[in-house]
Amino acid sequence: MGKMREHHIGIVVRDMEESRWVFSCLGYHPCTEVTEDIYQHNKILFLEDGQDSNRIELIEPLDEASTVRNVRPGMHHICYEVEDSFLDEFKAMKIGKIFSSIYIAPALEGRKVMFACLRGGMFVEFLEKELDCRE
Amino acid sequence: MNDGAIVMGIDEVCAKIKNILDMYLENADREELSGDADLSDWGVDSISFIQTIVDIEAQFGIEIPDECLLMEKMGTVNKMTDIIYRLINENIA
């Protein structure tokens, strides 16, 4: 694996069951169970399209402490799986700002994630590589 | 050490900040936005706040310290202007 690889697109939804149905009409099916993320206070469900394995993450706020409680429904972020060394390189690029602390992602086998905002306003999530893919 | 920061007066800094905020304010007229208005009352939420910060850093060629990334510290145009103006001058010195 190179330094980074697209992992999924995160989409904020207000009704996860309805959104699950909407995306099933587009050929997506769940590849995880619905998970309660106690760190970011969100319900999470991953879907895949079954062909090129394009993956999307549905994010529904759980409560007032949700990290997306005041975010409009729709596309929220692109997630990239990255090497540990990539974060220093990203900071040196000066193309955006890491604004979150490190979160544990229960829906992603407890791997660590953090969020950055790129110039122009796009949000990205950096996900640590799977353990068995690391050198 | 000047790391790309631009020399400008505080009024110009304030005007540029308002230009950037204009992209994120909901149903608001930039001219009506007073310096002490709470930006959250004008539709700036945590998402648009960080987007504004990133745009400000790019516009002014500065890096805003993490400890300043709070609505309490930068939640009005005047507070933002004061911090940005100070950072610009620290960069130039």
Query: How high is the mean pLDDT of chain A?
Result: 91
3-state secondary structure chain A: CCCEEEEEEEEECCCHHHHHHHHHHCCCEECCCCEEECCCCEEEEEEECCCCCCEEEEEEECCCCCCCCCCCCEEEEEEEEECCCHHHHHHHHCCEEECCCCEEEHHHCCEEEEEEEECCCCEEEEEECCHHHCC
- pLDDT tens-digit series, residues A41-99: 999 999 999 776 799 999 999 999 999 988 889 999 999 999 988 989 999 999 999 99
How high is the pLDDT of residue B21?
87
C-alpha distance from B36 to closest chain A C-alpha (Å): 23
A123: Cβ contacts below 8 Å, ≥ 6 apart: A76, A77, A78, A115, A116, A117, B47
CB within 8 Å: A99 and B51: no
Contacts of A91 in chain B (CB under 8 A): none
C-alpha distance from B17 to closest chain A C-alpha (Å): 15
Judged by CB atoms within 8 Å, which residues 23-52 of A form the interface with B?
A: none
Q: Which two tokens stand for residue A44?
A: 């999470």
How high is the pLDDT of residue B30?
62
pLDDT higher for A128 or B37?
Answer: A128
How high is the pLDDT of residue A133?
52
Query: From B44, which residue of chain A is nearest by alpha-carbon distance?
Result: A70
Q: Is residue B27 predicted with pLDDT exceeding 70?
A: no
Q: Is residue A1 predicted with pLDDT exceeding 50?
A: no
Could you tell me if B6 and B88 are in contact, meaning their C-beta atoms sit under 8 angstroms apart? yes
Q: Is A114 on the interface with B (CB under 8 A)?
A: no
Residue A25: phi and psi, rounded to 5, are -65, -25
CB within 8 Å: B51 and A70: no
> What's the mean pLDDT in B83-91?
89
Contacts of B53 in chain A (CB under 8 A): 97, 99, 117
Contacts of B50 in chain A (CB under 8 A): 97, 99, 117
| Whole-complex ipTM | 0.75
Its pTM stands at: 0.84
Q: How many CB pairs (< 8 A) connect A and B?
A: 25
CB within 8 Å: A70 and B57: no
